[in-house]
Chain A
């Protein structure tokens, strides 16, 4: 069993506020046909991690990260299934098909990553190669976002059996070309300063708020609970599938 947390923003009252608001879970996967030209530069600046109140849970607000963004039909970073010898998209969550995840806990697992785009492939390969899997883990998460917006990671928290991410959705600059109706994928490789066992981590959650700002007072959810805030509603679901 694993629990899945997903977030949808409440529909605001006014026209513009409706349009401003994050619609992280609205609509299905878009049929994007090309790789976006605005994939962002990898962000690999490590920062000090901050420890939450829980003795078994840790949080970072700016972990070393590789972010790739693509308007294609499949996420820009995926995992190659060695048994099937095909490239597969990360497992779509039963209750939140717009968020997928994988835990990369070894160099060999890292070798299974495949990337759309040669230049980006080198970046990903380097990121994996530079990871000390005896002391670190890489978490791959892909989210769908409207093309005119982007996600900012507010924090990621981890626990021996659980990983949670918290994002806020931000409007892209007015002079960047995008189409209202289109969606893109944002895949992130996030390096965690802890060696997690992929077989033990069985709970994943992601929150996306529409405020555009990270709430400095928000921390990771307590075990077995969900957090809510004014601009968002937290949905919790469980999935009986293996992980």
Chain B
């Protein structure tokens, strides 16, 4: 758990900081696989309840430090509207007061996250969350201080939605290199999708009028920030291109169709998996990787946005290759049994190594970084699962984290080939 200050001083001191690091030591892989100091002889790799992924996503846009600083200023301005101290005389209802204080402290924590982020995209995203939280607190207080109404904030939200819709309608897939363009445009697509997904009122309405207004404020800020961040990425990226750069949309769509057709053919060749419920690790691995491969087809075909579809198609290639790889291992006699703690450690080490190697061996690492970031997150999740075990642990209890390690290994080892196959599809 992230350590958070519970005091007003906590969120004020953090927002006063403007020094944003970010960006040092990308891809600093930590390998503590030689350590086995857990009381249960399991990998003890979790710090403060969280395990950090060894690869995180990025975007091929030079996000300026000034842009990050501006967002910090926005957060600071929002939090600066809150009274000092913020106590029962301001909001007597302790529950309501705590919601606003928690949001303010979360905003500060996200700014701290941004300061220590491993790259500027991560900082960019953390600061967006900081804006949302800060706005929640500020809007809630404005309900008290200046009689801010739900209708006013809703109207602001609707304006932000309109901007998102306009942007989405006018979105042109400017670019020269299709992979670089896809990475930028996919992030814009995702942002706009997120901005337009939650058009309904806040789902939880047992809030009372103050917190309902605060929720609307958060939603308005979130939507506006998603649009603004998308516009920023778009403008930064397109301005970096030669003036004659065309669009890559047709190239992306053609490549996706090529891969989709290929995967549909491969799906026909997939062996049927047993349907009975079997708790054995190897069966569950087969089932899950088979399911991931099969469902990739639907995921790709349902993704209408061309840039996101290209990334989804690359993931589909990876999933099919991972399943093939697993079957081959099983056919070769691999049982994936876990007989002692050292096997857990070994599976984890293999997963981490597979990610490192995949990043090095991929012909276009940028294309595969997001896939590998997902696998790194899977490993971190398994790490945290292991960290929750106390006392004696039955081996059967380890099957979930071990399955995640092995699944991540299979997928990561498939990434370079998937990367190459996508390049082939792009080249037609």
Q: Which residues of A contact B (CB under 8 A)?
A: 15-17, 19-22, 146-149, 168-180, 210-213
Assuming A19-B99, A180-B98, is B204 touching A174 (CB within 8 A)?
A: no
Assuming A148-B93, A174-B144, is B99 touching A169 (CB within 8 A)?
A: no
Assuming A16-B99, A19-B98, is B92 touching A212 (CB within 8 A)?
A: no
Which single member of A19, A170, A175, A212 contacts B93 (CB below 8 Å)?
Answer: A175
Contact across chains for B102 and A149 when beta carbons are under 8 A apart: no
7 other A-B residue contacts (CB within 8 Å) besides A22-B206, A171-B206, A210-B206 = A16-B99, A148-B95, A172-B93, A174-B208, A211-B206, A212-B207, A213-B206
Assuming A17-B204, A174-B208, is B95 touching A146 (CB within 8 A)?
A: yes
Which DSSP category, helix, strand, loop or mixed, fits chain B's interface? Answer: helix
Give the distance in Å from the alpha carbon of A55 to the alpha carbon of B410 in the complex.
62
Give the distance in Å from the alpha carbon of A212 to the alpha carbon of B93 in the complex.
17
Contact across chains for B206 and A20 when beta carbons are under 8 A apart: yes
Task: Point out the residues of chain B lying under 8 angstroms from A210, CB to CB.
Answer: 206
Give the distance in Å from the alpha carbon of A185 to the alpha carbon of B402 in the complex.
48
Write the nearest CB–CB distance from B326 to chain A, whole angstroms: 31
By beta carbon, the residue of chain A nearest B91 is A174
- On chain B, the number of residues with a Cβ less than 8 Å from chain A's Cβ atoms is 23
- Give the A-B contact count at a CB cut-off of 8 A: 76
Which single member of B88, B95, B103 contacts A171 (CB below 8 Å)?
Answer: B95
Contact across chains for A171 and B211 when beta carbons are under 8 A apart: yes
Say if the beta carbon of B25 comes within 8 Å of chain A.
Answer: no
Between-chain CB contacts (< 8 Å), 29 pairs: A15-B106, A16-B99, A16-B102, A16-B103, A17-B204, A19-B99, A20-B206, A20-B211, A22-B206, A147-B94, A148-B93, A148-B94, A148-B95, A148-B96, A171-B211, A172-B93, A172-B95, A173-B93, A174-B93, A174-B209, A174-B210, A176-B92, A177-B88, A177-B92, A179-B94, A180-B98, A211-B205, A213-B205, A213-B206
Assuming A169-B206, A212-B205, A213-B206, is B102 touching A174 (CB within 8 A)?
A: no
Give the distance in Å from the alpha carbon of A126 to the alpha carbon of B404 in the complex.
67
Task: Point out the residues of chain B lying under 8 angstroms from A174, CB to CB.
Answer: 91-93, 96-97, 143-144, 208-211
Give the distance in Å from the alpha carbon of A61 to the alpha carbon of B4 in the complex.
44
Which DSSP category, helix, strand, loop or mixed, fits chain A's interface? Answer: loop
Give the distance in Å from the alpha carbon of A16 to the alpha carbon of B101 in the complex.
11
Which single member of A15, A17, A149, A168 contacts B95 (CB below 8 Å)?
Answer: A149
Interface string of B343-360 (1 = CB under 8 A from A): 000000000000000000
Task: Point out the residues of chain B lying under 8 angstroms from A175, CB to CB.
Answer: 91-93
By beta carbon, the residue of chain A nearest B100 is A174
Assuming A16-B99, A19-B98, A19-B99, is B207 touching A171 (CB within 8 A)?
A: yes
Which single member of A21, A178, A211, A213 contacts B92 (CB below 8 Å)?
Answer: A178
Write the nearest CB–CB distance from A33 to chain B, whole angstroms: 17
Contact across chains for B208 and A19 when beta carbons are under 8 A apart: no
Task: Point out the residues of chain A lying under 8 angstroms from B208, CB to CB.
Answer: 170-174
Ranked 4 nearest A-B pairs via Cβ: A212-B206, A148-B95, A177-B92, A180-B94
By beta carbon, the residue of chain A nearest B203 is A17
Q: Which of chain B's residues 88-140 have a Cβ closer than 8 Å to chain A?
A: 88, 91-99, 102-103, 106
Give the distance in Å from the alpha carbon of A21 to the alpha carbon of B91 in the complex.
20
Task: Point out the residues of chain A lying under 8 angstroms from B92, CB to CB.
Answer: 174-178
Give the distance in Å from the alpha carbon of A212 to the alpha carbon of B202 in the complex.
14
Interface string of B378-400 (1 = CB under 8 A from A): 00000000000000000000000
Give the distance in Å from the alpha carbon of A175 to the alpha carbon of B91 in the complex.
6
Write the nearest CB–CB distance from B357 to chain A, whole angstroms: 35
Write the nearest CB–CB distance from A141 to chain B, whole angstroms: 21
Q: Which of chain B's residues 197-223 have a Cβ closer than 8 Å to chain A?
A: 204-211
By beta carbon, the residue of chain B nearest A180 is B94
Contact across chains for B99 and A178 when beta carbons are under 8 A apart: no
Give the distance in Å from the alpha carbon of A116 to the alpha carbon of B322 in the complex.
70
Write the nearest CB–CB distance from A216 to chain B, whole angstroms: 15
Contact across chains for A20 and B207 when beta carbons are under 8 A apart: yes
Task: Point out the residues of chain A lying under 8 angstroms from B91, CB to CB.
Answer: 174-175
Task: Point out the residues of chain B lying under 8 angstroms from A212, CB to CB.
Answer: 205-207
